[in-house]
Structure 1
Amino acid sequence: MALRLPLIPLLLSLSMTCHASLRQAPEPELRELLLQTVAEADSFQDRFDAEVWLLDMSTRLKRYMPATQERLTLLRLVHREASKAGLKPDLVLALIHAESHFDRFAISPAGAQGMMQVMPFWKAELGRPQDNLTDNATNLRYGCTILSFYLRKENGDLNRALARYNGSLGQHRYPAKVIGFWQDFWYVKP
């Protein structure tokens, strides 16, 4: 088996070299937070996958969520909950982008709450009125489970599953929006 060098320091230095005109030297705090986040990321196949994905997504998400610790915590939660539900984490990020622009306190005109815009009636349906849908872990668990269910119900048809998720079955605008964010901004090639 090949020896793998710690990837985060390497990626940070390469990123700094490639984008020297755009940023200062990598912050030691960011390096430590990434290392801690990788160590706590239990939904990845291995440490290398965790380092690559977290650094890549953290860079993409920074414009919407500037606080490093908050960003890395969210990414770890997204990866965990998406993986549990059998979803691609980058698809979940695209859905969050479309639904709330990463605002955990977002409330839609219909009353949907949190990053994934979950309807509060689900709490009553599950007998869990105490659940807080603005808590990212709770919101992601509900949202990923709902989307995964609709994907199975629609036999893998992502357009129909997204339309069901949004309550707009038969319309194409919402699925096109999510898929557009996914393809243009969040998609990770296998």
Structure 2
Amino acid sequence: MNVKPMLAGCVVVLALAGAVGSAHAGNQKEEALADSVRLALSNAIKDATPPQPSFRTDTERQRYQGWLAQVSSRLKRKLPDEQTRNEFLTTVWYEARRAGLEPGMVLGLIQVESAYRKYAVSMVGARGYMQVMPFWTNVIGDRNRSALFNMQTNLRYGCAILRMYIDMEAGNLYLALGRYNGSRGKPEYPNAVLSAWNNWKEPGVKSDIRTRTLP
């Protein structure tokens, strides 16, 4: 199931302006969402299907395998256990693609947000790899905040929320990343993610954070 079509075109009513937060810590702001958006997000995070990448062509499979081998080698210092590292990367790839995001960009965001620490908690209470704020479990989940330390749950929440922000900003990734961080309009956080993204992007992918509209 692809979360992008479920979120694209939904009307979002904002209750808060994007307030400035820490440049490198997740601090999404709770917003009043249209019922259609809330339902789409809720449905997006409910499906607990294990990440099983699928490919339409052998070329796609080979591209994925090449990317996996490359980034796994680079991430070895941060995640030394091979099984854990491969499960993490497979899940990142699956959840990113499911939400219509570029996996390398998600890895860059995780690098900035948590430095690949599964149990990271920010000063404002954001949790896990993608530093998801606990209030999201009340808004679109089952109120189980501890689940945000589950790898797939955290990545699914983070990717679905970022996809929503990209749709809210009409594809402007610069503003969407700022909103994800609670610092919309400020350059520090988007530029940090861009810098990190350049370390992880798939071959041939352009990472112009100010103009790129993700697929």
- TM-score, reference length from structure 1: 0.75
1:142 match = 157
Q: Which contiguous aligned blocks of 4+ residues in structure 1 show a shift greater than 3 angstroms? A: 43-47
Q: Which residue of 2 aligns with 1:66?
A: 80
Question: Hey, what does 1:187 align to over in structure 2?
Answer: 201
Aligned ranges 1:6-155 → 2 under 5 Å = 41-45=52-56, 46=58, 47-130=61-144, 132-155=147-170
- Answer whether contact 1:41 1:50 (CA < 8 A) is retained: no
What stretches of structure 1 of length at least 5 have no aligned partner? 1-39
| Matched-pair contact (CA < 8 Å) for 2:78–2:116 | yes
> How many angstroms apart in 2 are the aligned matches of 1:67 and 1:44?
26
Counting matched residue pairs gives: 150
Match for 2:165: what amino acid? Answer: Y
Q: Which structure has the larger Rg?
A: 1
- SS of residue matched to 1:133: helix
* CA RMSD of superposed structures (Å): 1.5
What is the distance in 1 between the residues matched to 2:141 and 2:157?
A: 13
CA contact (8 A) 2:103 2:201 kept: no
Higher RCO, 1 or 2 (CA under 8 Å, sep at least 6)? Answer: 2
Report if aligned partners of 1:113, 1:133 keep a CA contact under 8 Å in 2: yes
- Do the aligned partners of 2:175 and 2:184 also contact (CA within 8 Å) in 1? yes
Counterpart for residue 171 of structure 1: 186
TM-score by length of 2: 0.66
Matched-pair identity in %: 45
Q: Distance in 1 between matches of 2:152 and 2:93?
A: 11
Looking at secondary structure, tell me which structure has more helix per residue.
1
SS at match of 2:177: helix
CA distance in 2, matches of 1:165, 1:139: 14
Q: Deviations over 1:117-138 (max 9, x none)?
A: 0000000112412251011100
1:155 match: secondary structure: coil
Give the distance between the partners of 2:141 and 2:102, measured in 1 at CA.
28
CA displacement 1:18-72 (0-9 Å, x = unmatched): xxxxxxxxxxxxxxxxxxxxxx842444432332121111112112111100000
Quote the residue 1:160 is aligned against: 175
Distance of aligned partners of 1:130 and 1:42 in 2 relative to their CA distance in 1, 3 Å threshold: same
Q: Distance in 1 between matches of 2:112 and 2:55?
A: 25
